């Protein structure tokens, strides 16, 4: 009798929950599916172009939760103490590209060479940089001081579709911030990723908060230069090591300019670095960009619930 009662209760719970879950699977908004289309770069938290000869990715006293990729003839030095919860991959064969200068360094995925995925990832984001960078987006200036917050509504962006993904694009005409400032990007429920095109240098001292968007849906795109040189300089320093509550979010892409990330809490990715040394140093914590769940995941949940109903029925028939 106890077994029958338990099975009946399980069946009742499953039957009650199933319509809601199925409706969610069939009626999921597009926001559940549309991320910035970075292709193979989704496997990396940090990608260094490694252009030129003898250019280094310098890693010192940081935590990177995700893989690191080094392209071309780029070198990497980990002076530690650092933790990489992922792998360090080089596109080139091992001719001494990596130096580990601290016995306390942790690289959970090891160091690998001749990894073609790195080249594929860089090719994808470099092409995306050019494509999206050529869009005349909605002009906006960000010039903040004190403790000011600037809210940017996704709905104001210029619509642009490429590769089956629709973006909301903004063109940054001026940028000046301090550690006390916040940029708040607010989604409109459409699920379209948001792109901010920069053509000038930027010192990203500010915080970034996202409402209705994930870090995988916001691209800070630095445009200009060519052939891994001549692009804008990007510096990210939100003083996050000293102030753990500080946070910057989104994907930063600067293929043709130099990049440094210092004393920063970043939920997102950093791609680029041209033919200069790239700095990931001084207390950074980088957490790989969050991909939004696909509607199929809800469908899988509904499928699992079908199985739960079937199990309960079998119990009743036992």
pLDDT at 30 over 50: no
Inter-residue contact 111 to 98 (CB < 8 Å): yes
Task: Calculate mean pLDDT across residues 45-56.
Answer: 93
90-116 burial by CB neighbour count: b if 16+ within 10 A, else e? bbbeeeebbebeeeeeebeeebebebe
Rounded Cα distance between 170 and 105, Å, is 40
Q: Say which residue, 67 or 26, is predicted with more confidence.
A: 67
Rounded Cα distance between 44 and 66, Å, is 6
**% the chain with pLDDT above 70:** 81
Where residue 31 falls among pLDDT bands split at 50, 70, 90? very low
Residue-level pLDDT at 291: 79
Where residue 307 falls among pLDDT bands split at 50, 70, 90? low
For 72-86, 170-184, 299-313, which range has the lowest pLDDT when averaged over its residues? Answer: 299-313
- Average pLDDT over the chain, rounded to whole? 87
Where residue 303 falls among pLDDT bands split at 50, 70, 90? low
Where residue 113 falls among pLDDT bands split at 50, 70, 90? very high
Residue-level pLDDT at 219: 98
Where residue 292 falls among pLDDT bands split at 50, 70, 90? confident
Q: Where are the domains of the chain?
A: 2-32+295-317, 39-287
pLDDT at 12 over 90: no
Phi then psi for residue 214, to 5 deg, are -105, 170
Q: Rounded to 5 degrees, what angle do the CA atoms 262, 138, 287 make?
A: 30
212-248 burial by CB neighbour count: b if 16+ within 10 A, else e? ebbbbbbbbbbbbbeebbebbbbbbbbbbbeeeebbb
Dump the DSSP string for the chain: -HHHHHHHHHHHHHHHHHHHHHHHHHS--GGGT-----GGGGGEEEEE---SSS-EEEEES-EEESEEEE-TT-EEEE-SS-EESS-EEESS--SS-EEE--TT-EETT-EE-S-HHHHHHHHHHHHHHHHHHTS--EEEEEE--TT-EEEEEGGGSEEEEETTEEEEEEEEEEEE--TT-EEEEE--SS---EEEEE-S-EEE-SEEEEES--GGGEEEEE---BTTBS---EEE---TTT-TT--EEEEEEETTS-EEEES-EEEEEEEE-TTS-EEEESS-EEEPPPPPPPHHHHHHHHHHHHHHHHHHHHHHH-
Residues β-bridged to residue 83: 63, 106
Residue-level pLDDT at 294: 58
Q: Rounded to 5 degrees, what angle do the CA atoms 173, 175, 179 make?
A: 165
Instruction: Select from 247, 250, 182, 240 the least CA-distant residue to 220.
Output: 250
Considering the entire predicted model, what is its pTM? Answer: 0.84
pLDDT at 68 over 70: yes
Phi then psi for residue 95, to 5 deg, are -125, 35
pLDDT at 192 over 60: yes
Where residue 242 falls among pLDDT bands split at 50, 70, 90? confident
pLDDT at 293 over 90: no
Measured between its terminal Cα atoms, the distance across the chain in Å is 11
Task: Calculate mean pLDDT across residues 67-84.
Answer: 96
pLDDT at 154 over 90: yes
Residue-level pLDDT at 267: 97
Residue-level pLDDT at 195: 98
């Amino acid at each position: 009798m106890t077994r029958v009662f338990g099975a009946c209760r399980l069946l009742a719970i499953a039957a009650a929950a199933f319509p809601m879950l199925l409706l969610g699977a069939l009626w999921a908004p597009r926001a559940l599916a549309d991320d910035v289309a970075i292709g193979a770069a989704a496997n990396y938290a940090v990608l260094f172009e490694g252009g030129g000869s003898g250019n280094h990715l310098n890693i010192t006293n940081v935590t990177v939760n995700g893989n690191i990729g080094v392209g071309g003839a780029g070198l990497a030095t980990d002076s530690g103490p650092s933790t990489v919860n992922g792998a360090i991959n080089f596109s080139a064969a091992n001719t001494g590209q990596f130096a580990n200068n601290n016995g306390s360094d942790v690289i959970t995925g090891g160091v690998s060479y001749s990894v073609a995925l790195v080249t594929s990832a860089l090719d994808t984001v470099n092409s995306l940089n050019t494509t999206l960078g050529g869009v005349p987006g909605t002009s906006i200036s960000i010039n903040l001081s004190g403790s000011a917050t600037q809210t940017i509504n996704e709905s104001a962006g210029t619509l642009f579709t490429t590769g089956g993904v629709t973006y909301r694009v903004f063109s940054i005409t001026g940028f000046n911030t301090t550690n006390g400032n916040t940029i708040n990007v607010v989604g409109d429920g459409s699920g379209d990723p948001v792109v901010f095109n920069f053509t000038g240098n930027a010192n990203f001292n500010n915080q970034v908060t996202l409402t209705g968007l994930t870090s995988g849906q916001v691209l800070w795109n630095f445009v200009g230069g060519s052939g891994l040189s001549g692009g804008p300089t990007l510096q990210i320093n939100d003083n996050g090591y000293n102030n753990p509550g500080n946070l910057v979010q989104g994907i930063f892409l600067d293929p043709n300019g130099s990049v440094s990330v210092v004393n920063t809490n970043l939920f997102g990715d950093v791609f680029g670095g041209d033919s200069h040394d790239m700095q990931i140093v001084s207390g950074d914590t980088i957490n790989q960009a969050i991909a939004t769940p696909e509607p199929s995941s809800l469908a899988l949940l509904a499928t699992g619930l079908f199985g739960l109903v079937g199990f309960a029925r079998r119990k009743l028939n036992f």
